[in-house]
Structure 1
Amino acid sequence: MALAIALLVGIAPARAANLQNVDLGKSATVWLAEDHTLPMVSFNISLPAGSAYDPAGKAGLAAFAGAMLDEGAGKLDSKAFKEALAGRAINLSARAERDHLVISVSSLKEHVPEAMRLLQMALLHPRFDAEAMTRVRTQIVQSLEQDQAEPPRVAARAFAGVFFGAHPYAHPTTGSIASIKAITAADLRAFAKSHWVTHGLKAAVAGDITLKEAQALLGKTFLPVPNKAVPPVPNIGRLGKPGVQIVAMDVPQPTATFGLPGIMRADPDFIPGYVANYILGGGGFSSRLTNEVRAKRGLTYGISTQLTAYDKAAVMEGNVATRANAVRQTVQGVKDTMAAFAKDGPTQAELDDAKTYLTGSFPLAFASNNGTAAQLGVFQRQNLDIGYVTRRNALIQAVTLEDVRRVARRLYDPARLTVVIAGTPSDGKPAPQRPRPPAPPEPNPPPSPTRPPATQPAQKPVDKPLTTTPGQMQRPNP
């Protein structure tokens, strides 16, 4: 087993270490991780078509459109299109994040041209047939109805509405039941026409394909797709609403989603902030919050945090579930732990352990073509350069105790903490308030809008998350 892991750690980075730029001659960013080990190729493609671009009153439009990507195109209805994919073992899926529509494609090398032909057809000539729309709409609505009974979902979605205020990030990525029911085929066609474009396209390719082949194939695929800019997402003013708000639910175990303004990806403090988050709440059973709130105070089975940067905002977000008569104690435990961490920072042992895990686990993201393409796609959407993959671990190793202490003082001010509780606390409960309509966080959304995992309040993040322990939020590699 140890030998297998050692081999994997050695092989996986090689898959992404010698990245090549693919020049499409358009406003696109395309990277290739060439690997001829297996006759397979994977693509991770991002378009500027996330939920932040939903028109007013049309929340969920981007997600609905993305869910329809494989539901028929050109002369092929939904059944025929899916048969064309299945007959060649082509995997094609799409999901809407806050800033992007992320499309994943994988197939055997011999079927890659057909996979790209079908993708091009779906982008240029989507059908949006009534039968397929009804079926997909029903799936989304049923998922939203089930979410209404799940405290983690209710808290996370309400938190986004409170935290992001009037910004498009606040509205539900998969919409509301009412907004999804109101979306028409004309709405879907208009959105696809205006946002399924190659201006700002990002693509990561991994597998059995050469630079010359990739350039020819992707050029043929995307050249006919319109290359026009979409209107930018507006900037955000103030983030967060310090204090506790409650969404009343008759459940035995309330769930709290809490958060603070985070650190943008281009900020030099992001990497120290990522390390700090791992120590505070991102490290599973080894984290400060788990030790203080779970192990010492016995208030929860799981608590976690993650640091997520979107195009226009960043958030340090966490979640915790506890019994109804311990909500106040749990929130106070979170604040106490944050305050202590901001005051004293980590120990050298905590920092060393964090570096060991964050650098040692990094190669696992590149253990397959799908994983490689997905992880590179994350880096592209974060506007990182192609050489970042080879620098990333050195940047983490260079983080010092003083770096983490400085960032902890910057980030973890409990007086600024926004808390949204789904449930009915019975221990000194604040007056219930009704937040604005909820929105699910996005760093790690599901491949379709049918059912995001109930234990993950974030979106976001993120594309190729690491395996997590129970109660731990998923973390894409930064």
Structure 2
Amino acid sequence: MSDRNLLRRGLYGLALLCAFGLAACDSETGETVASIPPAKNVATPAESGQAIAKAQDETRLESLDELDDQPLPRRKLDIQSWQTEGGAKVLFVEAHELPMFDLRLTFAAGSSQDGGTPGLAMLTNAMLNEGIEGKDVTAIAEGFEGLGADFGNGSYRDMAIASLRSLSAADKREPALQLFSQVVGQPSFPEDSLQRIRNQVLTGFEFQKQNPGKLASLELFEQLYQNHPYAHPSEGTSESIPGIGIAQLRDFHARAYTAGNVVIALVGDLSREEAEAIAAQVSAALPQGAALPPPPVPQAPAATHEHIDFPSNQTHLLLAQLGIPRGHPDYAALYLGNQILGGGGFGTRLMEEVREKRGLTYGVYSGFSPMQTNGPFMINLQTRANMSDATLQLVQQLVGEFLEKGPTEAELERSKRQIAGSFPLSTASNADIVGQLGSIGFYDLPLTYLEDFMQQVQALSVEDVKVAMNEHLRADGFVIVTAGPEVEQKPLPPPSEKPLEQPSSVPEH
């Protein structure tokens, strides 16, 4: 093994030791100790000290050496689920390690529900904490801060989020929940706040004009989804935002922020009885109504290549095809295949061939993004403007070869180990868990989804991955958008273990 790989392996092992506490910890001193086998003979203090140090070093080295082959222990989740009287789906994990809890509401209220008014979902979500009866945005912020609580919100294509983190003691929990319920269930949508946020969004659109990567991404979704609700940007457009008024926000909130259209995820220092009371309180504070229908299935577009002329040093390359909806039975195979192709960082096919052997980019990444309906499979990178055409051809060639031959057995086993090793991070904190619960509930996945997914990944064969990747991807089926200057093109350098030339500059965006 090379020094470079040894270093990488050692640092990875050390990071995992720190993250998951694999070394023993003395309960009184708090110092890290190692188990030392009993000595067969009496030794001097100096010899004992040397022996202990040597044994500690050997123990640590053995532990690090074994990390590549043994998955880390996983946090077993006991997920409880029920439905409130108003129709809200609830998922709860009891966790008493810390005196706090995390609450996340996930509404089917993303930009796919905008209708003919792009940006409506985003503005509604952004306005939640701008005012309630008797409190303006400053008073709301001070209210949460005074209780040691944290409010969060966000809007995306499929969903809109509102979250609360609070101490679990009743004197903090109850007023924090009362304020949160008002903010999410009865926002006042003040006119002055709407004008301020509209101006901020419009200013952001002006900045986007100087970002070739963002321009390419907007064009890519438009080309990939065409007339589908996913086609327009979640933040709206410069044409739609100025015309959105208070009445539209109130109407959208009344139909999209209902108890029947939300998943309530709870994790933390709560009993089942307390969790049921919280869910009932939040559900009752929301408008009462049914779930909104999911967006329709998109039609696959024809392969295209659009170029945006932009005066930058590098060219952005974005390639996409329609992928799969969340919950598709092929997801585990596609996830594993993509980790080998371009989703797993260093060591992937794309990274090795495009960066490591030719020095054409700082990073090239691929990934499936399953959503309520077919989300995109995307590849993105930046490269030298004068080699962008040849780099694009190389990426397409690598995808074609991967589809034709599939992964090797060695690649498959390595990626399985990496996925098993990183899996504990998905439930390492209460915040991680509440996010997982929100997704499980929102996409109607089984409560055993996380464990099922790991078992599915470990059972996959090379042929399984190859078949799934070919079922959902075509080498010649990409919608491609590039953004960069029009310059004379050069051929690629030959592959080398040590590329002669590195990328011309750091990524621009």
TM-score (normalised: structure 2): 0.80
- Please tell me whether the aligned partners of residues 302 and 479 of structure 2 are also in contact (alpha carbons under 8 angstroms): yes
Query: Matched residues in 1 for 2:157 and 2:174: separation?
Result: 30
Aligned counterparts, 1:78-89, within 5 A: 78-89=137-148
Residue aligning to 2:75: 13
- Please tell me whether the aligned partners of residues 338 and 412 of structure 1 are also in contact (alpha carbons under 8 angstroms): no
Residue aligning to 1:334: 395
2:171 counterpart of 1:109: no
2:354 counterpart of 1:293: yes
Relative distance call for 1:64 and 1:127 in structure 2 (3 A) is same
2:152 counterpart of 1:90: no
Deviates more, 1:135-144 or 1:27-36: 135-144
TM-superposed CA distance for 1:11, in Å, is 7.3
Query: Matched residues in 2 for 1:285 and 1:71: separation?
Result: 43
Aligned counterparts, 1:89-168, within 5 A: 89-110=148-169, 111-168=172-229
SS in 2 for 1:223: helix
Query: Matched residues in 1 for 2:234 and 2:408: separation?
Result: 39
Residue aligning to 2:90: 30
Aligned counterparts, 1:266-305, within 5 A: 266-305=327-366
Query: Matched residues in 2 for 1:148 and 1:189: separation?
Result: 31
Deviates more, 1:230-239 or 1:119-128: 230-239
Deviation per CA, 1:376-434: give whole Å up to 9, x if none: 222222221112123221111111111111122223322101101122342569xxxxx
Relative distance call for 1:397 and 1:318 in structure 2 (3 A) is same
Residue aligning to 1:43: 103
- Please tell me whether the aligned partners of residues 162 and 241 of structure 1 are also in contact (alpha carbons under 8 angstroms): no
TM-superposed CA distance for 1:177, in Å, is 2.1
- Please tell me whether the aligned partners of residues 123 and 192 of structure 1 are also in contact (alpha carbons under 8 angstroms): no
Deviation per CA, 1:430-452: give whole Å up to 9, x if none: xxxxxxxxxxxxxxxxxxxxxxx
Relative distance call for 1:370 and 1:325 in structure 2 (3 A) is same
State which structure, 1 or 2, has the greater radius of gyration over its C-alpha atoms: 2
- Please tell me whether the aligned partners of residues 261 and 292 of structure 2 are also in contact (alpha carbons under 8 angstroms): no
- Please tell me whether the aligned partners of residues 342 and 349 of structure 2 are also in contact (alpha carbons under 8 angstroms): yes
Relative distance call for 1:241 and 1:115 in structure 2 (3 A) is farther
2:296 counterpart of 1:238: no
Q: Which of residues 398, 404, 414 in structure 1 aligns to 2:465?
A: 404
2:433 counterpart of 1:372: yes
What amino acid is aligned across from residue 354 of structure 2 in structure 1? V
Query: Matched residues in 2 for 1:48 and 1:227: separation?
Result: 14
Deviation per CA, 1:130-155: give whole Å up to 9, x if none: 22222222222222221221122111
Query: Matched residues in 2 for 1:428 and 1:3: separation?
Result: 48
Relative distance call for 1:23 and 1:53 in structure 2 (3 A) is closer
What amino acid is aligned across from residue 289 of structure 1 in structure 2? L
- Please tell me whether the aligned partners of residues 339 and 412 of structure 1 are also in contact (alpha carbons under 8 angstroms): no
- Please tell me whether the aligned partners of residues 308 and 316 of structure 1 are also in contact (alpha carbons under 8 angstroms): yes
2:136 counterpart of 1:74: no
Residue aligning to 1:64: 123
2:469 counterpart of 1:381: no
SS in 1 for 2:260: coil
What is the Cα-based RMSD across aligned positions, in Å? Answer: 2.1
TM-superposed CA distance for 1:295, in Å, is 1.9
What amino acid is aligned across from residue 351 of structure 2 in structure 1? T
Q: Which of residues 374, 378, 381 in structure 2 aligns to 1:320?
A: 381
Relative distance call for 1:388 and 1:423 in structure 2 (3 A) is same
Query: Matched residues in 1 for 2:74 and 2:364: separation?
Result: 31
Relative distance call for 1:425 and 1:381 in structure 2 (3 A) is farther
Residue aligning to 1:361: 422
- Please tell me whether the aligned partners of residues 103 and 265 of structure 2 are also in contact (alpha carbons under 8 angstroms): yes
What amino acid is aligned across from residue 84 of structure 2 in structure 1? L
Relative distance call for 1:3 and 1:417 in structure 2 (3 A) is closer
Deviation per CA, 1:276-334: give whole Å up to 9, x if none: 11111101111111111222233211110110111122321121111211111111011
Aligned counterparts, 1:450-465, within 5 A: none
SS in 2 for 1:353: helix
Deviates more, 1:163-172 or 1:262-271: 262-271
- Please tell me whether the aligned partners of residues 72 and 421 of structure 2 are also in contact (alpha carbons under 8 angstroms): no
Residue aligning to 2:480: 419
* Aligned-pair identity (%): 30
TM-superposed CA distance for 1:233, in Å, is 4.0
- Please tell me whether the aligned partners of residues 92 and 266 of structure 2 are also in contact (alpha carbons under 8 angstroms): yes
Residue aligning to 1:53: 113
SS in 1 for 2:261: coil
SS in 2 for 1:59: coil
Residue aligning to 2:47: none
SS in 1 for 2:147: coil
SS in 1 for 2:188: coil
TM-superposed CA distance for 1:230, in Å, is 5.0
Deviation per CA, 1:165-201: give whole Å up to 9, x if none: 1011001100112322221122211111121111131
- Please tell me whether the aligned partners of residues 39 and 109 of structure 1 are also in contact (alpha carbons under 8 angstroms): yes
- Please tell me whether the aligned partners of residues 106 and 161 of structure 2 are also in contact (alpha carbons under 8 angstroms): yes
Q: Which runs of 5+ in 1 are unaligned?
A: 430-469, 474-478
SS in 2 for 1:168: coil
Q: Which runs of 5+ in 2 are unaligned?
A: 1-13, 23-70, 491-505
- Please tell me whether the aligned partners of residues 59 and 172 of structure 1 are also in contact (alpha carbons under 8 angstroms): yes
Residue aligning to 1:458: none
- Please tell me whether the aligned partners of residues 72 and 420 of structure 2 are also in contact (alpha carbons under 8 angstroms): no
- Please tell me whether the aligned partners of residues 165 and 239 of structure 1 are also in contact (alpha carbons under 8 angstroms): no
- Please tell me whether the aligned partners of residues 314 and 383 of structure 2 are also in contact (alpha carbons under 8 angstroms): yes
SS in 2 for 1:292: helix
- Please tell me whether the aligned partners of residues 319 and 478 of structure 2 are also in contact (alpha carbons under 8 angstroms): yes
- Please tell me whether the aligned partners of residues 326 and 425 of structure 1 are also in contact (alpha carbons under 8 angstroms): no
TM-superposed CA distance for 1:26, in Å, is 4.0
TM-superposed CA distance for 1:22, in Å, is 3.6
Residue aligning to 1:449: none
TM-superposed CA distance for 1:267, in Å, is 2.5
2:284 counterpart of 1:223: yes
Query: Matched residues in 2 for 1:226 and 1:76: separation?
Result: 20
Deviates more, 1:142-151 or 1:285-294: 142-151
